[in-house]
Structure 1
Amino acid sequence: MYRRKKRVYVARNGVSIDEFLNTQEDKEIKRYKPCAVFHGLYTYKPNNVAIKFIIEKIAPKLPELHFIIFGKGSEIIKKEYKNLPKNVVVLGTVSKNRIAKILKACDIAVVPIFWGSGTNLKMIEYLAAGLTIVATPMAARGLGLIPNKHFYLARKEEEFVNKIRFALENKLDKKELIKKATEFDWEKVLKKLVLIFRR
């Protein structure tokens, strides 16, 4: 006799959407308009490479745009770069309750992630904040995002520079971005899990 195969369900990661909908813009960030944001754990190699890509390849070509970078461990950037571009603002480690405020104050998000694994939660957070995103296919993997509807796609240096300029003048529909983010709201994720466990 054959044993019945056990069903396997994959529970998706999520974020608390309300944190982004019901928050004010960070006052400090307002000084750096227009601005693009990237955040993440600096010691995680894909984030590290992405930040260096922004600092070395993108920021010098877009001097009119400020790049806001923050995340645990990012303080060391100021030591690693003696001549950090003037339009790069490194906030370092920030409190969890400040993240949504910072994102709400920014104009766009830039996510040059070229490899890695797992769900890219920062993408969902940017969507929840209503930010137009310029990102690689790797950054958007597994999220069901549609290019030119949920984000602008870029792969290489020049494409990032051009798409960022385009994104600043052609923001994506904020309501559509937030709507997509709600698919990953913890409340929805947990409700689905409860239904699965009750079967």
Structure 2
Amino acid sequence: MKVLQICSKPPVPSIDGGCKAMNNITEGLLSNNIRVKVLTISTAKHPFLPEKISADYIEKTNIEHFFIDTRVKPISALLNLCKSNSYNLSRFYCKKFEELIVSTLDKEEFEVIILEGLFVSGYIDSIRKNTKAKIVFRAHNVEHEIWERNTQNERKGIKKIYLKKLADQLKVQEIEVLKNVDVIASITQRDKQQIELLGCETKVKVIPFGINVSNYLKAKTESKFTFFHIGSMDWTPNQIGIKWLLNNVWGNILSSNNDLVLKLAGKNMPEWLLKLNQKNVEIVGQVEDAIDFINQNQVMIVPLFSGGGMRIKIVEGMALGKTVIATSIALEGIDYVPNKNVIVANKKEEFITAINWCLKNKEEAKQIGENALQLIHEKYDNNQIIKDLISLF
């Protein structure tokens, strides 16, 4: 079997959760003797870095890329409000990348084409015209739902109206895409349900994000009982969540725990965080090795109030035996049991209670982390997930 994997950003180097989600599929298929060809968009935010890609990967995938300037242009964004198509998606369409896809399909035959997310869905028509291969749409999340949640979290005003318009445009196009693929591989059970509620009759199969558990077991080390958050800080939901945590939770915790420190790590820290002068908050910024950083600390805090799909950093934290305190939205897609393998907190008081409980019951909190590791081992091992994907093919 030969598979063409089309990505909205380079899967390698795997600098964020989306990259890892794509690369784990690539590596998993290759390890099962499935031939994979990778075509990817590269952008200013996610450039193609051949010097950071192994020669073995390049040889096996014959990866090719094309640069598209996907940066938001205010005038184009405003003009697009008069149109029916989504500005978010149109930024990722380029005739030259379409030509690369078509020329690839002319030269090689594929049984399956994986579209990695909604941002590469603009090429479906050209794919249909140039191959009989089945199209598997990998739904990393229900994209319009993220924007609906962002709208709900916004106060009344022009921005709220604008966000609602973006969400509505995106929803229309997302439904159309879901109807025009052969099968949908949803990362979470909840997303599967949401897709079916949209009236989609296309077959949907849950293929969650998986990790190579053995690699994390080898990496796991003892850590200090410290609190941390790690994530891409140019992603709006992460910024909203951290701002809420600092304004509503952390100050209350410090009133009785003066030596407590919250470490904030992640790439592209916004200026307001870099200038932050809040007691007992350490801005770590981008780390060279995320696994090493997670290993150094014990309690992962994820105050996420919008977003969708599966939070890959949480899966990695659990695989390293970390105690996770997170919102229900952050934990979507993970088959957890509250207070057994994670601690769920959705409100200010719940976060404060959870953090204080961890401080007073450190050994019990660590046990929740060990239970989390066991859960990931049992249900999110990439070896089994890839077998399920191949079966779907």
**What is the TM-score when the length of structure 1 is the normalising length?**
0.81
Q: Distance in 2 between matches of 1:175 and 1:160?
A: 21
Pair 1:94–1:180, CA change in 2 (3 A):
same
Contact 2:234 2:270 in 1 (8 A): no
Contact 1:75 1:90 in 2 (8 A): no
Aligned residue for 2:4?
A: none
1:64-108 superposed Cα distances (whole Å, 9 cap, x missing partner) = 321111111126354342x232x111111122xx21121122121
For 2:347, which of 156, 160, 171 is the aligned residue? 156
1:107-161 superposed Cα distances (whole Å, 9 cap, x missing partner) = 2111111111111112211211111111111111121111111211111112201
The answer as to 2:251 corresponding to 1:55 is no
Q: Distance in 2 between matches of 1:50 and 1:79?
A: 16
Runs of 5+ consecutive residues of structure 2 not aligned to the other structure: 1-200
Which has the larger displacement, 71-80 or 99-108? 71-80
Aligned residue for 2:189?
A: none
Q: How far off its partner does 1:39 sit?
A: 0.9
For 1:88, which of 272, 281, 285 is the aligned residue? 281
Q: What amino acid does structure 2 have at the position aligned with 1:184?
A: Y
Q: How far off its partner does 1:7 sit?
A: 4.1
What is the root-mean-square deviation of aligned Cα atoms in Å? 2.3
Residues 173-192 of structure 1 mapped to structure 2, 5 A cutoff: 173-182=368-377, 183-192=379-388
Q: What amino acid does structure 2 have at the position aligned with 1:92?
A: G
Q: How far off its partner does 1:38 sit?
A: 0.9
The answer as to 2:319 corresponding to 1:128 is yes
Aligned residue for 2:188?
A: none
What SS does structure 2 have at the residue aligned with 1:62? helix
Q: Distance in 2 between matches of 1:44 and 1:93?
A: 14
Q: Distance in 1 between matches of 2:270 and 2:237?
A: 17
Contact 2:327 2:346 in 1 (8 A): yes
Residues 68-79 of structure 1 mapped to structure 2, 5 A cutoff: 68-74=263-269, 76-79=271-274
Q: Distance in 1 between matches of 2:370 and 2:324?
A: 14
Contact 2:308 2:332 in 1 (8 A): no
Contact 2:287 2:293 in 1 (8 A): no
For 2:205, which of 6, 9, 15 is the aligned residue? 9
Instruction: Report sequence identity in percent.
Output: 25
Q: Distance in 1 between matches of 2:271 and 2:334?
A: 31
Q: Distance in 1 between matches of 2:207 and 2:390?
A: 11
Which has the larger displacement, 122-131 or 72-81? 72-81
Decide which structure has the larger Cα Rg and report it: 2
Q: Distance in 2 between matches of 1:106 and 1:47?
A: 19
Contact 1:134 1:152 in 2 (8 A): yes
What SS does structure 1 have at the residue aligned with 2:219? coil
Pair 1:34–1:178, CA change in 2 (3 A):
closer
Pair 1:76–1:17, CA change in 2 (3 A):
farther
Contact 1:69 1:88 in 2 (8 A): yes
Pair 1:57–1:20, CA change in 2 (3 A):
farther
Q: What amino acid does structure 2 have at the position aligned with 1:71?
A: G
What SS does structure 1 have at the residue aligned with 2:376? helix
For 1:141, which of 332, 336, 339 is the aligned residue? 332
Structure with higher RCO (Cα < 8 A, 6+ apart) = 1
